[in-house]
Amino acid sequence: MTGVVRLLLADDEHLIRGALAALLSLEDDLVVVAEAASGPEALAMARAHQPDVAVLDLQMPGADGVKVATSLRAELPGCQVLIVTSHGRPGHLKRALAAGVRGFVPKTVSAQRLAEIIRTVHAGNRYVDPELAADAIAAGDSPLTVREAEVLELAADGAPVAEIAERAALSQGTVRNYLSSAVSKLGAENRHSAVRLARERGWV
């Protein structure tokens, strides 16, 4: 019907990439035309080989899966992007969908299942792992106000309040206030874990 699906595989873990290529090649209608071990390399390979579907790992050296996906959408509109990941953090899923990614699955799926999902994506449909989707929905929308998120982001690298205040053009008291409010909304113990939590949920 749709003929053969040409695949680009990108993952920095050689072991997995090779194994994956071998397994997917067992499927008659799938063929791996290119492999890459980093974000930039994936882009270059995509330009050279014009795959139908790009299977990208979320975490890669250079540029992560979502960044590659964004570039790919612009350069090769006909190429659908499927993201595969070990760590299914809600924030990543949200970012990925916003970047035009068509599929998002954890590495816990079987190869057979992955092959099916590749076909689904190639047909123009979307696929998001139900469990990851549930997590993302459960995480919901950010309870943080604009300023709270802004201040929390400035606090991300452990900067002292004085520096945050200067960079945000606010008084130190105000900064403490926003930080405190964010910490309580997130149910965190201190600003550091608040930053971590917000990161995980994709709210900063």
Partner DNA sequence: CACTCGGCATGACAAATGTCAGAGGCGGAG
Partner DNA sequence: CTCCGCCTCTGACATTTGTCATGCCGAGTG
Size of interface with a second copy, in residues (CB under 8 A): 25
> Minimal distance in Å, beta carbon 140 to DNA?
14
User: Is residue 56 close enough to count as binding a second copy by CB under 8 A?
Assistant: no
Which residues contact DNA by CB under 7 A? 145-148, 160-162, 170-174, 176-177, 179-180, 183-184, 190-191
* Structure tokens belonging to residue 19: 């194994």
Question: Nearest approach, Cβ of 184 to DNA (angstroms)?
Answer: 6
From residue 101 to residue 140, what is the string marking binding to a second copy with x (rule CB under 8 A)?
Answer: -----xxxxxx--x--------------------------
* Closest CB to a second copy among residues 45, 84: 84
Among DNA, a second copy, none, what does residue 18 contact (CB within 5–8 Å per kind)?
Answer: a second copy
Q: Determine, following the binding rule CB under 8 A, whether residue 156 of this chain makes contact with a second copy.
A: no
Instruction: Quote the CA–CA distance of 57 and 107 in Å, as a whole number.
Output: 9
- Residue holding tokens 């792992």? 129
Token pair recorded at residue 15: 């072991």
**Which one of DNA, a second copy, none is in contact with 162 (Cβ closer than 5 to 8 A by kind)?**
DNA
Beta bridge partners of 35: 9
SS3 of residue 106 by DSSP: strand
**What interhelical angle do 172-185 and 191-201 show, nearest 10?**
60
Of the two residues 2 and 190, which places its CB atom closer to a second copy in the complex?
190
Supply 187's token pair.
Answer: 């149910």
Using an 8 Å Cβ cutoff, are 112 and 146 in contact? no
Cβ-based nearer residue to DNA, 112 or 171: 171
Site string for a second copy, 78-97 (x = CB under 8 A): ------x-x-----------
**For the CA atoms of the chain, what is the radius of gyration?**
20
Residues 28-42 as b or e (16 or more Cβ within 10 Å = b):
eebebbbbbbbbebb
